[in-house]
Amino acid sequence: RAKEPGAPLLCRFDPQMDEASRARRALARDLREAIRRGQIDLAFQVQACVQSGVAVGFEALARWTHPVLGRIPPGDFVALAEGTGEIDRLGELVLRRACCQAALWPGRQRVAVNLSPLQFASGRLPALVSEVLRDSGLPAARLELEITESALIEERRAAIAQMEAISRMGITFVLDDFGKGFSSFGTLRSFVFGKLKIDRSFIAGVGESAPARAVLRAMVALGHSLGLNVLAEGVETESELAVIRAEGCDEMQGYLIGRPVLPGAPGAPDNIS
């Protein structure tokens, strides 16, 4: 095969290269091929208003089925793409597809797309986002971009200016997995967000634990005092739902109300009204 920029020339002959890194390299090659061919699917998971139960949005979650290895978890292939420089192409594919599909949903719910912080590295994210909105016809108010806090630390300076530019287009940034990282408060002070997603580790078991509930209450109060919408992620049980409702969470997402589903399936955004 032709040599590619950045690939070590010795890889086939280096005796130090072990089986694991050879497998990783092969997987990276397969992922790149899948991205080029558009063989990444999007599953959608419903987000609902806690008080009314109405579906207000769907999170787009990338899915890759390897021809031999089967389904690869998104955490794994997103990290792989981040390591090989394919993340911009993967991110663009997901963003374009999510916006084009959402523009056609009968219910006009919002679509939430996950961003890797490395997508800020090129400086071209604001231009891409505005191009995708124009191409898809999706109104900016229907797009949300989710970013995890721990990840933002690395691309901090580049990210702030670009997030502000994208926010001015009318798009909402969502702080994903809130509470799980190390810099929750600092992140809230210096970045523009419109919504907090409380990490599911803070929701699990909250119906049975008074301390867990006190922590959740404080997180909701923090979000609301900053004027943010607060979404509880990973809601799995009725008792968790009862607590997040009583504590004033605005929105919820989780297996209790819907698993991620492919378009066309029951409960998919193109298949309900």
**Which residues make up the interface to ligand C2E (CB under 6 A)?**
45, 61-62, 73-75, 78, 94, 114-116, 146, 176-177, 200, 234-236, 253-255, 260
Beta-bridge partners for 49: 251
Query: Based on CB atoms, which residue is closest to ligand C2E, 97 or 142?
Result: 97
- Using CB under 5 A, pick the residue from 82, 92, 176, 240 that binds Mg ion: 176
Query: Based on CB atoms, which residue is closest to ligand C2E, 30 or 92?
Result: 92
- Using CB under 5 A, pick the residue from 114, 167, 187, 253 that binds Mg ion: 114
Residue number with the smallest Cβ distance to ligand C2E:
254
3-class secondary structure, 104: coil
3-class secondary structure, 138: coil
Query: 124 to 153, contacts with Mg ion by CB under 5 A?
Result: 146
CA 150, CA 196: separation in Å to the nearest integer? Answer: 14
- 62 makes contact, choosing from Mg ion, ligand C2E, none, with CB < 5 to 8 Å by partner type, with ligand C2E
Query: Based on CB atoms, which residue is closest to Mg ion, 28 or 269?
Result: 269
- 229 makes contact, choosing from ligand C2E, Mg ion, none, with CB < 5 to 8 Å by partner type, with none
DSSP 8-state secondary structure symbol assigned to residue 258: -
CB within 8 Å of 196: residues ≥ 6 apart: 174, 175, 178, 219, 222, 223, 228, 229, 230, 231
- 46 makes contact, choosing from Mg ion, ligand C2E, none, with CB < 5 to 8 Å by partner type, with none
Interaction between residue 172 and Mg ion (CB under 5 A): no
Structure tokens at 44: 């959608």
Query: Based on CB atoms, which residue is closest to Mg ion, 149 or 233?
Result: 233
- With tokens 């071209």, the residue in question is 124
CA 197, CA 151: separation in Å to the nearest integer? Answer: 15
Query: Based on CB atoms, which residue is closest to Mg ion, 82 or 177?
Result: 177
Cα-based angle 139, 140, 145 (whole degrees, multiple of 5): 130
CB of 200 to Mg ion, least distance (A): 6
- 234 makes contact, choosing from Mg ion, ligand C2E, none, with CB < 5 to 8 Å by partner type, with ligand C2E
CB of 117 to ligand C2E, least distance (A): 9
End-to-end alpha carbon distance in the chain = 49
CA 184, CA 71: separation in Å to the nearest integer? Answer: 32
DSSP per position, 165-204: HHHHTTPEEEEEEETSSS-HHHHHHHS--SEEEE-GGGTT
Which residues here bind Mg ion, judged by CB under 5 A? 114, 146, 176-177, 233
